[in-house]
Chain A
Amino acid sequence: MPIGMNIYRPDWLLMVLIFWNTVLPERVNIGIGFLAGILLDVLLGYSLGLHSLAFALVLYVSSANHQRMKNYSIWQQTGVIGLMTAFYSLLVFWLQHWLTDAYFHFNYFWPIITTMLFWPWVFWLLYRAKQKLIL
């Protein structure tokens, strides 16, 4: 993928975490999010704890509402995913701003739109995977 596309890259990890949190809230919740966040921080060279904090907060919201999320139609879910991604992107931006004085740029928020566009497909794919694994 060309480097220029990087700013449009959807938040894959966030989508996967929210999906598993919705279908298996007892197994995938804040703890897994925290660990995944640390892994992402180390891999991408962020300050340690930045994504763990963001994932923990987003997964708290998602865990608290997983019953509702389960019963939403795919389009309602897409809207909710958009809100959660926005919350997550803002959290990451605020933390970065606090740490390194990064200033506001709309490029940081493209992933909100691309994540929403990809959600129905990711949901379908993961749902298939889940059926294969569990049944």
Chain B
Amino acid sequence: MKPIFKRGAPIEIRLFLAVVVAVGMLVADGKFATFQPLRNVLTSIVTPIQYLASLPTYFFTESSQRLRSQEELIAERDAFINEIMILREKEQRFSILESENAQLRRLLDAPVKINLPKTVAELLAVDNNPYVQQVVLNKGTLNGTFTRQPVIDDKGVVGQIVDVTPTSSRVLFITDISHAIPVRNQRNNTRYILNGSGNIDQLSLKFVPHSHDLLVGDILVTSGLGGIFPEGYPVAVIEQVTRDESRPFALVTASPLARLDSLRYVLLLGSSGVIENSNTAERPQSDLLSGANNE
């Protein structure tokens, strides 16, 4: 006889099963990251939902782009022409400096820096996730994106790719609490580790001795030591240095140079493998530089 009310397993048993499976997945994925392949597959499956969810935003920005007055466009064009002139002038000097630098490096027997390939990506979605600072980009493995690829904007380093699907990828910001990036002070080449704080506008330097020469306004650039970020990109500016002698280390906070809260376009650096090579080639060089400076 067909029962009138369908009854599956009692809810206690369902709950028990769900909790066991969920805790298993949490430990495997959250603590040991063993689920990465499964995760990539699942993320690829839900990518269409992400595109769908970003449609309203896309529609509004697109329509506001289209509905603009001629004066606005002319003013913007003039601003761009100005900027291009200034950048071209800088570029003239840059190309001379670059060739000079290459010559000097050859004299020193140091490897010449490789020009990294770059891809422009657009922001697809901002995750509504207060615990993790990350956003989704519209470039994936089909465009040559790979995990741990460095991401920058026009001002500085943004973060690195953590998840990648064929058509989208997820960037972890440098300000995320779980992120750290090796940097050096542009002024005197001292090396540090720059940690994320969980706030979108704040970073912190850990384990800085009180005696270190570190001033408010110093620019921190990537040191290239971690093997993920190429050397020499600006990351953050020192905001506050508190030297409280009762604490073992100085409290140093910095703010990111990239405009993380208003990103639209970003640049993905390098193609798989290139960055690693350029970094290992440069490593002895940067060690030598900072070593000489510490003495």
A residues sitting closer than 8 Å to B (CB atoms) are 3, 6-7, 9, 26, 29-31, 33-34, 37-39, 42-50, 52-53, 56-57, 60, 63-64, 92, 95-96, 99-103, 105, 107-108
Contacts and interface: CB of A to CB of B under 8 A. Distances in A.
Contacts of B163: 45
Interface in B122-179: 126-132, 134, 162-163, 170, 177-178
Nearest to A50: B26
Given A31-B18, A49-B23, A100-B178, A60 B39 contact: no
B195 to A, nearest CB: 12
Interface residues of B, number: 44
B102 interface: no
Contacts of A52: 18, 21-22, 25
B190 interface: no
B11 A53 contact: no
B50 interface: yes
Contacts of A7: 130
Q: Classify the interface of chain B: helix, strand, loop or mixed.
A: helix
Contacts of B130: 6-7, 105, 107-108
A13 to B, nearest CB: 11
A26 B128 CA distance: 31
A44 B136 CA distance: 9
B6 interface: yes
B177 A102 contact: yes
B21 A49 contact: yes
Contact of A30 (B11, B45, B132): B11
Contacts of B177: 100-102
A62 to B, nearest CB: 10
Contacts of B217: none
Contact of A60 (B15, B31, B46, B49): B15
Given A48-B30, A53-B22, A64-B11, 18 more contacts: A3-B126, A6-B126, A26-B5, A31-B14, A34-B21, A42-B46, A43-B127, A45-B170, A47-B26, A48-B25, A48-B39, A52-B22, A53-B18, A56-B22, A92-B131, A99-B30, A100-B132, A108-B131
Contacts of B178: 100
B159 to A, nearest CB: 13
Contacts of B162: 45
A3 B39 contact: no
Nearest to A3: B126
Across chains A and B, which 9 residue pairs bring their CB atoms closest together, nearest first? A49-B25, A47-B30, A53-B22, A56-B18, A48-B29, A49-B26, A49-B22, A30-B14, A99-B30
Interface string B259-291: 001000000000000000000000000000000
A75 B128 CA distance: 28
Contacts of B29: 47-49
A9 to B, nearest CB: 6
A42 B132 contact: no
Contact of A102 (B5, B11, B131, B261): B131
Most buried by A among B22, B31, B126: B22
A33 B129 CA distance: 19
